[in-house]
Amino acid sequence: MAFFLSRLTPRRALLAPFHALLGRLFVAWGDVRLVEPDPESLGLDARLPVLYVLPRPALSDALLLASLARRHGLPSASGHRRVGALRLSACLALPTLRRRLWRRVSPPQAPFFDLLTQRQAHPEHEVQLVPVSVFWGRAPGKRFGFWNMLAADSWQLTGRLRRALSVMVNARNVEVHFGAPLRLGEVLGDRDPAITNRKTARLLRVHFRRVRTRVLGPDLSHRRTLIEGVATSPEVRRVIDELAVSERVSPARLQARARRYGREIASNMLYPVLRFMDGLLRRLWNRLYDGVEVRGLDDLKPLAEDHTLVYVPCHRSHIDYLLLSYVLYHEGLMPPHIAAGRNLDMPLVGPLLRRCGAFFMRRSFRDNPLYAAVFNEYLHRLLSRGHPLEYFIEGGRSRSGRLLPARPGMLAMSLRSYLRSAKGNGPQRLAFVPVYIGYERIIENASYQRELRGGRKRKETPLSLLRVIGQLRQPFGRVAVNIGAPLILSDYLDREAGDWRNNIGDSRPAWLTPLIPQLGEELSRRINAAAALNPVNLVALVLLATPHHALEASLLERQLALLVTLQRRCPGGDHASLPGGEPTAWIKKVETLGMIERRSHPLGDMLLAAPSQAGLLAWYRNNVLHLFALAGLTAFAFRHRSRHTLSELEAMLAPSWPILARELVIAPPASLRAALAEMLDLLVEQGLLCCDGGSWWRPDTPVEAGEHLRLLGQLMQPTLERGYLLIALLLEAGSGRLAREELANLSCQLAERLAVLSGLDAPEFFDTRVFVSLVESLEVQGWLWQVNGKLVFDERLPAAARLSAELFDPALRHRMQLITRRCDSESVGR
């Protein structure tokens, strides 16, 4: 049947009964996997006739479209339409040029001339043209030998035999993409119908090309050809010539080394492997998770048609690699090429990942200029040709659950490639796409806790997969994939580096080095702004705010509802998402996942986390703690002082807020005073505070309101304590006494001591990297600066510390001061 479908075209199918029989057989054989957008959202005018337009003549596409239109209640795509005096096929196709060896063939004309002529003479005969793209499977545009004949749509024009085999092989893996309806009157105006005929065909071809780029990605060259082009590129040859002189090695030997590096790095995306992984991962997700929720992808799809996309997801689990590619593939977007660490290029796993689009990089290649040149050239060729890319700007997986500071390496290479590719052709259209991936439970739970407590990171091996397979029977909840606000690189450079267009072609302008950390911070903030609240991290936020990690079930439910209300009314992230359902169901879900325990009691059930469970919950709490930074800080201010005016509150929190915002990677509001006023009004509305117009105070009754306010303020206490410890240690030592690393290490030791004395079993509380980031934040805000390698401050820091100290319990301040003095005296003694 498929052979006849490929041989016939609508013009040659003269027998309607035979046509109908083929259609019924085709409907029974085929299956549409994805229809986009929803046909009901096309906005067709029921009063006007509809003609469907295909990018090329193909009876298989026409029959599929006819059955799809009947199924979704769209205007019929079979038979003919009467439009005024014209009788036209309901499904048109743009003509394709058929070459003949014995004569030249003039380009065929688009089929809209008669319609346009009639529309110009009779404006009432308007027509809606609906472009339709049909993809029989999806290939990334490479040659795969025999599979190239069998498998899927690609950028190559297909012959009739290959088209027939494609219909047979991919009949149950079909995607249909509808375009926005186009009215002839919108393009005709007062123009000549012959000119408008060509313009209409050109507009439709541009649309079809953009959809094809979005779905298939740009056309790929053969991997061997790509590696050869990288190894012989001018940039790599220049490095080879320099090394040949400095290291006294023959250029031919260095050229062979460059090719070896290219083979070590380059991906080898294969369509059969993508199809295999699609089926495998679908079964894995069904076994592992209760579902994968995707948000924000619809807004991204139009951008994918004319921009090179660089996905920058947060990195919480090894599952991230597979999950994002799977989601993009299923949503009709081309899976990206993924930058993966060389540690994953191990037997069995490495070749599979490479064929799914992964390219491998060494952790550091600063001392290997030839490897750096090959990697930079490979990355440049991917970006300049429009291939979607994915890399993790954090550099590695987060063991604490926090978003790690952005590493500059890949961002710097991407920006240099952007400036280089813009030379001569104008700026390339490139967009960074922040992605937040949130888990209710991750596979690496145990290993993260072991490493946070000082355990050595285990090397990934194929045998480690066997341990993962043993966990497949355990529940892991749901996964959220949230797309943040894309960052259009040209627009960002216009704002932050106004004269950047004068440096096009220069891969290392003066403004580039200071801009890269700013870009990393901006992308990190956009990732966090798309965070997903789920039952596990909500319960973790509340339960870990209690001294013994235990709470009455009724109070826990009400506090969960409060957190969701605060996020809904004053969102901590512009693209953050909330869970569905009710607090009772959320608690039940966390119990099912084994993250908390319930104890029955005659006066009411209690929920608690054992020490091992509390350590795990801290990771999930840190995923979303930033969403409640302002709410927690405002509530904490009322913990030891019952009344504040807005001015007093602003003066007390202003020194801490920029540092807190930078540590938690959030965008500070334009006005802290306005944000505080809005938050205070919301807390009054929820009954947690009282207001008499000029000041706000903590109510004595009901007691429950005070408990809710205390739990909310407790969210920020560990973060604020870390900052107070570091500043107290710095002030005790004095200006110009400690270096940056020395201050961070001493603060870490002090925090660990305080955690033991206070019974706080939380390794992430004294994570050295957090203190290093805190010192950097103080330098960025101008509180500290370095002189001869030592940290120096002026009288502003002690004044700000005195204001911030009012937030803390006097007993706690006294204990921290004692520990600080003892720690400082011991360090001086050494």
How does pLDDT run across 179-217, given as a tens digit for each residue?
Answer: 888 888 888 776 788 888 888 888 888 888 888 877 776
CA distance 188 to 195: 9
What does the pLDDT read at residue 690? Answer: 92
Half-sphere exposure in the Cβ direction for 210 (13 Å, CA): 16
For residue 754, pLDDT over 80 is answered with: no
For residue 147, pLDDT over 50 is answered with: no
Averaged pLDDT, 547-552: 90
The per-residue pLDDT for range 26-80, each reduced to its tens digit, is 666 566 777 888 888 888 888 888 889 988 888 778 888 888 888 888 888 888 8
What does the pLDDT read at residue 446? Answer: 75
Cis ω before 10 (30° cut-off from 0): no
Contacts by 68-72, CB closer than 8 A, 24 or more apart? 68/32, 68/35, 68/39, 68/176, 72/35, 72/39, 72/40
Beta partners for residue 790, in sequence order: 787
CA distance 351 to 359: 10
CB 52 within 8 A of CB 39: no
CA distance 804 to 652: 6
> What would you measure as the largest C-alpha separation in the chain, in angstroms?
101
Task: Choose between 250 and 424: higher pLDDT.
Answer: 250
CA distance 205 to 536: 48
Beta partners for residue 176, in sequence order: 35, 134
Tell me which of 228-232, 300-304, 802-806 is least confident. 802-806
CB 338 within 8 A of CB 361: no
SS3 label, residue 360: strand
CB 531 within 8 A of CB 482: yes
CA distance 562 to 259: 59
Return the residue matching tokens 């009691």.
601
What does the pLDDT read at residue 337? Answer: 92
- Per-residue HEC secondary structure of 299-327 comes to HHHHHHCCCEEEEEECCCCCHHHHHHHHH
The per-residue pLDDT for range 455-483, each reduced to its tens digit, is 666 666 656 655 665 666 778 889 999 99
* Torsion angles phi and psi, residue 129, rounded to 5: -100, 125
CA distance 736 to 785: 9
Which H or E element spans position 191? none
Pairing state of beta strands 50-54 and 91-93? Answer: parallel
Tokens of 203: 């507009």
For residue 172, pLDDT over 60 is answered with: yes
What does the pLDDT read at residue 766? Answer: 65
What does the pLDDT read at residue 757? Answer: 65
What does the pLDDT read at residue 523? Answer: 96
CB 627 within 8 A of CB 776: no
For residue 154, pLDDT over 60 is answered with: no
**Residue 36: how many other CB atoms lie within 10 Å:** 17
Alpha-carbon distances of 762 from 458, 528, 622, rounded to whole Å: 22, 23, 12
CA distance 726 to 745: 10
How many residues in the chain?
830
Tell me which of 305-314, 616-625, 775-784 is least confident. 775-784
Identify the burial level of 319 via C-beta atoms within 10 angstroms of its C-beta, where 0-12 means exposed, 13-18 middle and 19 or more buried. buried
**Residue 747: how many other CB atoms lie within 10 Å:** 28
To the nearest whole number, what is the mean pLDDT of the chain? 82
SS3 label, residue 643: strand
CA distance 645 to 637: 11
pLDDT above 90 covers what percent of the chain? 31
Alpha-carbon distances of 128 from 179, 185, 335, 483, 529, rounded to whole Å: 11, 9, 33, 33, 40
What does the pLDDT read at residue 56? Answer: 84
- Residue 765 CB partners (closer than 8 Å, separation 6+): 718, 722, 751, 755
What does the pLDDT read at residue 256? Answer: 92
Averaged pLDDT, 294-320: 89
CB 516 within 8 A of CB 415: yes
The per-residue pLDDT for range 740-752, each reduced to its tens digit, is 888 888 888 877 7
Query: Whole-model pTM?
Result: 0.78
Tell me which of 349-358, 704-713, 814-823 is least confident. 814-823
CB 722 within 8 A of CB 816: no
CB 370 within 8 A of CB 243: yes
What does the pLDDT read at residue 8? Answer: 42
Alpha-carbon distances of 730 from 591, 689, 827, rounded to whole Å: 43, 35, 12
Banded model confidence at residue 502, pLDDT cuts 50, 70, 90:
confident
Alpha helix positions (H), 570-641: 583-592, 611-624, 629-637
> Where on the phi/psi map is residue 604: left (φ > 0), alpha (ψ -120 to 50), or beta?
left
What does the pLDDT read at residue 61? Answer: 82
Return the residue matching tokens 């790509």.
226
CB 595 within 8 A of CB 441: yes
CA distance 583 to 559: 9
C-alpha triplet 552, 553, 559: angle, nearest 5°? 90
Alpha-carbon Rg of the chain, whole angstroms?
Answer: 31
Return the residue matching tokens 């993409």.
177
Residue ranges and CATH numbers for the domains of the chain are 2-98+106-216 (no CATH), 224-514 (3.40.1130), 535-714 (no CATH), 717-829 (no CATH)
